[in-house]
A and B are shown apart, each in its own frame.
Chain A
Amino acid sequence: MFSKLQNKLNKYARVVSATWMNGFAYPLSFWMWRLRQVMSIVIAISLWQSIFAASSNVFGYDQAHMLTYIFISNIAGFIVLSSRTIEVPDVITSGDLSLYLLKPVHFFVYWFSRDIANKAQNAIFSCVELFTLFLIYRPQLAISTHIHTILLAFFAIGGGVLLYFFINMLFGFMAFWVPDVWAPRFLFFIIMFFLSGSTFPLDIYPKQLVDVLSYTPFPYLIFFPAKVWLEQLSFSQIVTGFGALLGWILAFGILTSWMWSRAIKGYGADGR
């Protein structure tokens, strides 16, 4: 029993390590990717510092809380939004899916392992980059170090990771029916950019819009985990938030499983 579990863990641990090695295969591309991540934070910090130079309170946030949000949302974003699952449509349309179906691997777990590898890589390098930026900018941060808050934030980010994985899989599986999923995915990413809280806190929008957004999956990717970590939510908001997050994970999980089981029956293994 134990050795069976160990074999299974070994299987996916090897997928994780291969993904890591693959990530380092092109050094220039890797360092450009890191530069892009650093630049996105530098731009966000500089922008908000300029805004706060003119006013001490913007949209109900003071500079310390806003910069803390930027740091926290970037950490959450680096973990939640970094993914290799975006390659799934190509795997399907090229016929490479056959290679996975021939082997004793679970397609979902295989790609989740690849995602985890990518996230871990991103998170480790981000920590170094964020620490360096912290030393440069020396912003006033109000990050909570309460163990229960960090634990809750950890679960919220974990939930976001799962939710984003299933959303990506859903777009990926569309390739079974529509060969080009680039357009709907691009549209989704644009919407997500504004509505997930990755660039600014969503509560700077009017309250009615924030209320409407809470019925969509977007805020649970970054905004909710960041607010949990910032201890800016009441107990009931935390409970409701986790309930909604779980609901969305289940909904997308069930939907992608259903799509997979339907699609795989009609799979034509094209391109081979």
Chain B
Amino acid sequence: MIKWAFRSIMNELVISVQHLTKHYKVYKKQPGLGGSLKALFSRTYETIKAVDDVSFDIAQGELIGFIGPNGAGKTTTLKVLSGLLYPTSGSVSVLGFNPWDRKAAFQKQFSLVMGQKNQLWWDLPAIESFLLNKAIYEIPEKQFQETLDKLVDLLDVRDVLNVQVRKLSLGQRMKCELIAALLHNPKVLFLDEPTIGLDVMMQKVMRDFIKSYNKEFGATIILTSHYMEDVKELCKRVVIIDHGKKLFDGELQGIIDKHARNRILSIVLSEDVPRKKLEAIGEIKSYEHPQATILVPRKEASERAAKLLQTLPVADITIEEPPIEAIIRDVFQTTK
């Protein structure tokens, strides 16, 4: 915490969220036709705490991973930060603005990219949507051309700019979506599942692009993703949220140190050895000669690896952290 407070003082604070709460009223329909008829006269509503007393600060240039299961409150938080939703209580400041005021000066400095919907005009080529955004964001001609050229080259979409959006592949469309969202050089970028549905190659392209945009433009970025690979590769700091509550806020390595109780020894044996000998080292996760994976207590990992090398015919060994997905799962389970 002290580390974050120090960083906030040292760097300019771009986003400040204090005790943010957002509650929804949701209509609960009883099952069947009877329920539908009853709903014509009287309806039962339930209050859902989408975000519940969440606070965090983000300094300029940070790239934060926002992690949580479906319905955790990640997207709701991004919507509040973008001025789409009015908070039930708490205060939010982005670039010194109250997002809810939806001032043009604020809107010209941020962008929200949602992976599941697009802003491009479906029946027109992407370039037409770019020109529309140029007019909407009042981007000077020179700046527009320079930014467009740079983004088009970075994402390699020059040959599809004049093709109708509906004829583009998902990957090409997502790249064009990103360009449309970045033409006005936003200082703050909210990326909600930007790699959803993309193949692994395209995910990597998008990740590389986000990383370089963050570096080159010094943009502050909040990223939500279900792909832990995105978070692992891009974000030093993560905020974990579940059922609207913040569970963790700190460096990704911090979660690993705190919640990864084991390490994984992945070995290749040069000879077949009895299972019992491997059990003496740690908990066997899999063993199919010549490969085996063994879970060992994190603190004793080096010691156990040394023992393994001394007692068994090992051809190769690597010591790995457990998958980040498993660690995050552990965070959710232990904090329930």
Q: Which residues of A come within 8 Å of B, CB atoms?
A: 7, 10-11, 13-15, 18, 21-22, 25-26, 95-96, 98-99, 101-105, 265-269, 271-272
CB distance from A216 to the nearest CB of B (A): 29
CB distance from B174 to the nearest CB of A (A): 16
Q: Is the CB of A7 within 8 A of B84?
A: no
Residues of A near B124 (CB, < 8 A) are 18, 21-22, 25
Residues of B near A15 (CB, < 8 A) are 132, 135
CB distance from A1 to the nearest CB of B (A): 14
Nearest to B115 among chain A residues (CB) is A272
8 closest residue pairs by CB, A with B? A25-B123, A104-B104, A14-B135, A104-B107, A7-B138, A269-B84, A11-B135, A99-B119
CB < 8 Å neighbour of B131 from A14, A101, A104, A265: A14
Q: Is the CB of A268 within 8 A of B24?
A: yes
B144 within 8 A of A: no
Bound CA span A272–B79, Å: 9
Contact with A along B115-155 (1 / 0, CB 8 A): 01101010110001101111111100000000000000000
Residues of A near B164 (CB, < 8 A) are 25
Bound CA span A102–B102, Å: 8
Residues of A near B116 (CB, < 8 A) are 272
Q: Is the CB of A11 within 8 A of B138?
A: yes
Secondary structure at the B interface, as helix, strand, loop or mixed, is mixed
Residues of A near B133 (CB, < 8 A) are 103
Nearest to A9 among chain B residues (CB) is B135
The listed residue with most A CB atoms (<10 A of its CB), out of B129, B131, B135, B192, is B135
Q: Is the CB of A102 within 8 A of B121?
A: no
Chain B 89-128 residues near chain A, CB threshold 8 A: 102, 104, 107-108, 111-112, 114, 116-117, 119, 121, 123-124, 128
Q: Which residues of B come within 8 Å of A, CB atoms?
A: 24, 75, 79, 82-86, 102, 104, 107-108, 111-112, 114, 116-117, 119, 121, 123-124, 128-129, 131-138, 164, 192
Bound CA span A99–B136, Å: 12
Bound CA span A21–B84, Å: 29
Pull 6 A–B residue pairs with CB atoms less than 8 Å apart, ordered by A: A11-B136, A15-B132, A102-B112, A265-B86, A267-B85, A272-B79
CB distance from B75 to the nearest CB of A (A): 7
Given contacts A18-B124, A22-B124, is CB(A105)–CB(B114) below 8 Å? no
CB < 8 Å neighbour of A102 from B84, B128, B131: B84
Bound CA span A103–B79, Å: 13
Bound CA span A125–B108, Å: 38
Bound CA span A243–B107, Å: 39
Bound CA span A266–B25, Å: 10
Given contacts A103-B107, A272-B75, is CB(A96)–CB(B117) below 8 Å? yes
Bound CA span A105–B82, Å: 15
Residues of A near B108 (CB, < 8 A) are 104
Given contacts A104-B107, A268-B24, is CB(A18)–CB(B121) below 8 Å? yes
Residues of B near A26 (CB, < 8 A) are 123
Nearest to B108 among chain A residues (CB) is A104
CB distance from A183 to the nearest CB of B (A): 14
Q: Is the CB of A14 within 8 A of B86?
A: no
Given contacts A98-B84, A102-B112, is CB(A269)–CB(B117) below 8 Å? no
CB < 8 Å neighbour of A95 from B117, B128, B136: B117
Residues of A near B75 (CB, < 8 A) are 272
Bound CA span A99–B85, Å: 13
Residues of B near A267 (CB, < 8 A) are 84-86
CB < 8 Å neighbour of B85 from A18, A96, A268: A268
CB < 8 Å neighbour of A272 from B117, B123, B138: B117
Additional 20 contacts, C-beta under 8 A, given A10-B135, A14-B132: A11-B135, A11-B136, A14-B135, A21-B124, A22-B121, A22-B123, A95-B117, A96-B117, A98-B79, A98-B114, A99-B117, A101-B84, A102-B82, A102-B107, A103-B136, A265-B86, A266-B86, A267-B84, A272-B79, A272-B114
Q: Is the CB of B85 within 8 A of A269?
A: yes
Bound CA span A154–B117, Å: 41
Residues of A near B24 (CB, < 8 A) are 268
Given contacts A21-B128, A22-B123, is CB(A105)–CB(B136) below 8 Å? yes
Nearest to B22 among chain A residues (CB) is A268
Bound CA span A96–B83, Å: 15
Bound CA span A14–B137, Å: 12
CB distance from B312 to the nearest CB of A (A): 54
Bound CA span A105–B119, Å: 14
Bound CA span A102–B78, Å: 12
CB distance from A234 to the nearest CB of B (A): 46
Bound CA span A269–B24, Å: 11
Bound CA span A105–B104, Å: 8
